[in-house]
Amino acid sequence: MKKLIEAAEIQQAVHKLGRDIEDWYQGEPLTILGVLTGSVILLSDLVRAVELPIKIGLIQASSYRGATTTRGELVINESLIPNVEHRHVLLLDDIFDTGHTLQKLIPIIENRRARSVRTAVLLWKEERTEVDFAPDYHCFKIPNEFVVGYGLDYNDEYRHLPFIAALEDHEITG
């Protein structure tokens, strides 16, 4: 695999993201809603980097399963979403690839009468974007490569890596 982003760079970017979020919400209570499973590591680091009254929630949304590297049908499980009525909500995902996941999640949260809904991602594959919006916050723009580490996986492996790496073609069996 080829390292793209070192662990120290990620930590600096997450800290900066925390400051940007604080500046935007200016002390207002916030619910950070992490998209399972890829955002879990980012979520845990980000909530420690933000000095705001925070509630944490989770939502399960997946279009990549097992050893596949191509997007399938998006499956959303809303059962873990906390009450977000009249609250600012930040949807947090590991990667903004085509954008379809967040495009489907935003109206779900809006329909639960959230005060506002914004989005943040660790990685953005800008050239792959297929939707008519961009994430409100992102830490890094990356090339169109299949990446793992810091929560991102291939066949449920590599999430534990503290850095972001691109898998080589021979490492992808799907």
Residue type present at position 133: F
The total number of residues shown for the chain amounts to 174
Give me the catalytic one of 20, 45, 97, 132.
Answer: 97
CA distance 127 to 11: 25
CA distance 77 to 62: 9
132 is catalytic: no
Question: Which tokens belong to 54?
Answer: 């925070």
The phi, psi pair for 30, rounded to 5°, reads -140, 140
- Quickly tell me which residue has 């793992």 as its tokens: 148
Helix (H) or strand (E) holding 49: helix 40-49
- Active-site residues, by number, are 97
